[in-house]
């Protein structure tokens, strides 16, 4: 799996993740936004996962949509994976 450990702020925009290749993508930093426009994940295949992990809560608001691939939530117990 590839890991991005930095926090990502989508600002007032919808968060869009394009996940290609055959490896999982692990996002261990906090995901946030200011516009409430949600998060859409475009995965490559049903065999790859986008993993929301780490110790900081994701605080983005809006709808979470997965268009291909899988979404796995692996935050520390008691920490919000979906804002």
Give the pLDDT confidence score for residue 43 in this predicted structure: 86
Provide the mean pLDDT of the chain.
91
Q: Which residue has the higher pLDDT, 39 or 45?
A: 39
Other Cβ atoms less than 10 A from the Cβ of 42: the count is 15
Backbone angles phi, psi at 57, to 5 degrees: -70, 145
- Cα(50)–Cα(19) distance, rounded to whole angstroms? 8
Give the pLDDT confidence score for residue 18 in this predicted structure: 86
Specify whether the CB–CB gap between 40 and 61 falls below 8 A.
Answer: no
Nearest residue to 57 via CA among 73, 37, 38, 35: 73
């Amino acid at each position: 799996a590839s890991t991005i450990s930095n926090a990502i702020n989508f600002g007032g925009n919808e968060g869009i993740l394009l996940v290609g290749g055959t490896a999982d993508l692990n996002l261990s930093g906090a995901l946030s936004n200011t516009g409430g426009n949600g998060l859409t994940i475009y995965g490559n295949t049903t065999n790859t996962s986008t993993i929301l992990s780490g110790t900081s809560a994701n605080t983005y608001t809006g709808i979470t949509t997965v268009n291909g691939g899988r979404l796995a939530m692996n935050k520390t117990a008691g920490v919000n994976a979906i804002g």
